[in-house]
Amino acid sequence: MELLQNKLRPNKLSDILGQTHLVGKDKVLTNLVKNKKIFNMILYGQSGIGKTTIALALVNELGERYRMLNATINSKKDFEIAIEEAKMYGHMILIVDEIHRMNKDKQDILLSYLENGTVILIGLTSLNPYHVVNPAIRSRCQLLELKALTSKDIEKGIKKVKEILTDIEIDQKTIKYISEISNGDIRFAYNLIEFAYYGYNKKITIENIKQSSSSSNFFTDKNDEGHYDMLSAFQKSIRGSDVDAALHYLARLIESGDYESIYRRMLVIAYEDIGLANPMMGTKVLSAIEACERIGFPEIIKPLSCAVIDMALSPKSNSADIALTTALEDVRSGNIGRIPKNIKTNSPTYLYPHNYPNYWVKQQYMPNELLGRKYYTPRKNKYEKELYEFNQKIKDVK
């Protein structure tokens, strides 16, 4: 049975929902069709906003021969067959879904054919291609971001359902409700309506929609770019000491079921954003994570809540993060210098600090070229102030 979402898929750009920055008068994709031109490109954005639809509309309006493959499902052999077909006809458009999952073998066989124009690539991904697509592929493509659909876009799409399901009963309030819980994903809306249509004898109400879908579509799939936005919002809320916002995003992340990402991000925050202002936070967060792993869901919300509230209300310092990042920048740029002779292995001129008062003695550690270079600047919090004062005190002792 053909799904409703496929029956309603537009076959020309003018029928695309949203994406007005790419489609419409004097917009880039519309102009490509007008000029009968197509180039290697990657369409990216969250699920259900029209990446595949736009790709298919482009090849349809251009009248181009194409083949559609999935980087995960299709084998290297499938890609080789597509290339042979492209060579046979002179050129062909290859639409590759989940292009971020394309392994090196598949990339290697594509590259030269992208270069000479035998294959024209339209890659599709829900992730940011700047982070996840191989640079060799990425540099040969134009990167076009698709935006989340608005509630109005979704409403417009839902109204088209009546063209297929002519006897459907659905009022404007229900349409508006579905558009709001779909959170920009028209595919979610279509699938929900189709389920309710057959499940409730063609009459769709807010009540049976609530029974069909117990929660909104938050875009928290761990493979979706929206999920990384959620993790970013979670971290930034803790960094900004907004405890309520932190708990809100924690709740949304818990609903996604990707607890490993929550744990990893909490540990990063403990060392990146709280750092030396509260150095025990890393240990406390790790203990909370271990408790979560032992007790499982749904009880994990108890240690997670305690830990996140503690983190959000804790004093913050990124001094340690900045210190090492700056040192790494020097090393990577070649600003290193030679190791001083007195601290080389078995150096006869090395002064052993434990043999001196306060376990400190003045001697050179930094290379000559970097003398005076400062990486660490303490922040104004109790712990770092104590570290700094202790360090200064032992150096001041004659």
Q: Which residue has the tokens 């990486």?
A: 375
pLDDT surpassing 70 at residue 215: no
Q: Which domain holds residue 358?
A: 337-396
Say if residues 162 and 134 touch (Cβ distance below 8 Å): no
- pLDDT tens digits for 353-373? 999 888 888 899 999 999 989
pLDDT band per the 50, 70, 90 thresholds, residue 124? very high
Q: Could you tell me where the DSSP H helices lie in the chain?
A: 4-7, 28-34, 51-62, 76-89, 104-116, 129-132, 135-138, 151-159, 172-181, 186-199, 206-212, 225-239, 243-256, 259-269, 281-295, 301-313, 319-332, 382-396
Flag whether pLDDT at 110 surpasses 80.
yes
pLDDT at position 294 over 60: yes
Shared domain check, 166 and 133: no
Are 8 and 139 in the same domain? yes
Q: Is 124 exposed, middle or buried (0-12, 13-18, 19+ CB in 10 A)?
A: buried
Based on its alpha-carbon atoms, the radius of gyration of the chain, rounded to whole angstroms, reads 29
Share of the chain above pLDDT 70, in %: 95
Question: Does the structure show a pLDDT above 60 at 220?
Answer: no
User: Quick one: pLDDT at residue 214?
Assistant: 55
Last residue of a domain, one of 145, 171, 203: 145
Where is mean pLDDT largest: 72-86, 182-196, 202-216?
72-86
Please enumerate in sequence order all residues whose Cβ is within 8 A of that of 70, keeping only pairs 6 or more positions apart, or say none: 96, 97, 98
Please state, for a pLDDT cut of 90, what percent of the chain lies above it.
Answer: 34
Same domain (yes/no): 299, 382: no
Of 145, 178, 199, which one is at a domain's C-terminal end?
145
Same domain, 74 and 155: no
Q: How many domains does one find in the chain? A: 4
Tens of pLDDT along 257-283? 778 889 999 999 999 999 999 999 999
The answer to whether 154 and 122 have CB atoms below 8 angstroms apart is no
Kindly report, residue by residue over 76-87, the tens digit of the pLDDT.
888 889 999 999
Strand order across the beta sheet in which 66-70 lies? 66-70, 92-97, 119-125, 41-44, 142-145
- What is the end-to-end Cα distance of the chain in Å, rounded? 87
Q: 135 and 33 in one domain?
A: yes
Q: For residue 237, name the pLDDT band (cuts at 50, 70, 90).
A: very high
